[in-house]
A = this chain, B = another copy of it.
Amino acid sequence: MKILIINPNSSPAMTADIDRCAKAFANGEFQVDTVLTPGAPPYIDTYQDAALACPGMMQIVRENEEAYDAFVVACHCDPNLDVLKEMTDRLVVGIGEASMKMATMLGHRFSVISMGSRSTPIKEEVIRRYRLEDCAGPVRAPEDGLASCREEELFLDAAKKAIEEDMAEVIVLGCAGMCGLDKTMEKALGVPVLDGVTCALILASGMVKAGIATSKKRRYAKN
């Protein structure tokens, strides 16, 4: 089984982080590779960022759908996910959709921890797109603006507020670049912390094994 993770941005460093986490989870039981998106901006934060990433993401799918069994879109707002689900018969899993739907199975309310408040309305629209607004607390971000992906302390502070003030029982990491922080944060917080890349790989590898893929009836019909 071969799964290709598409990092919708063009950051080699974030791509490498994602790849390392993904391979750690795969543990040699299936092949997983990660590519960055040519022509995409270095970080996906806005609607324009997502739009600029789209041609490159489509090209990656076109060029790899013979070679791979499934695709994972590794940006928490699941940019262009519908386009990709439509254009290929291969399974496509978004890390936002995977992690947030899995979070609903583990507790009464989940909260997404984001990198900065700029993208909060977009993230809330994503939550709503999946009809999860009643299961989610407000998106929380470090208070002094855009964090780097690895500033664990700031995310812990935001997560603690989500747990205590918003009654969250599960934390969802709101950026693919936060992958690898889940277990240390989980230890500090005492509640499950979900990394989207891991969640998407659970679903993608399991569904490929079971022969489950996107419905090609109506909504995602290829053409």
Complex CA gap A207/B103 in Å reads 11
Quick check: A209 and B218 within 8 Å, CB to CB?
no
Cross-chain contact of A117 among B93, B129, B211, B218 (Cβ < 8 A): B218
**Chain A 20-37 per-residue mask, 1 if CB under 8 angstroms from chain B, else 0:** 000001010100000000
Complex CA gap A92/B7 in Å reads 30
Chain B contacts of A11 at CB under 8 A? none
Minimal Cβ-Cβ distance residue in B for A54:
B51
Chain B contacts of A63 at CB under 8 A? none
A134 interface residue, CB < 8 Å from B?
yes
Complex CA gap A198/B126 in Å reads 28
Quick check: A207 and B202 within 8 Å, CB to CB?
yes
Quick check: B217 and A206 within 8 Å, CB to CB?
no
Quick check: B191 and A202 within 8 Å, CB to CB?
no
Complex CA gap A80/B54 in Å reads 12
Cross-chain contact of A121 among B101, B201, B218, B223 (Cβ < 8 A): B218
Chain B contacts of A178 at CB under 8 A? none
Quick check: A107 and B214 within 8 Å, CB to CB?
yes
Interface residues of A in 96-118 (CB under 8 A from B): 97-98, 101-102, 104-109, 117-118
**Chain A 126-143 per-residue mask, 1 if CB under 8 angstroms from chain B, else 0:** 001111111100000000
A residues near B, CB below 8 A?
25, 27, 29, 45-48, 50-51, 54-55, 58, 80, 82-83, 85-87, 93, 97-98, 101-102, 104-109, 117-118, 120-122, 124-125, 128-135, 163, 167, 169-170, 183, 190-192, 194, 198-199, 201-203, 205-207, 209-221, 223
* 8 A-B pairs closest in CB distance: A202-B206, A107-B215, A121-B219, A108-B121, A108-B219, A169-B215, A47-B83, A47-B82
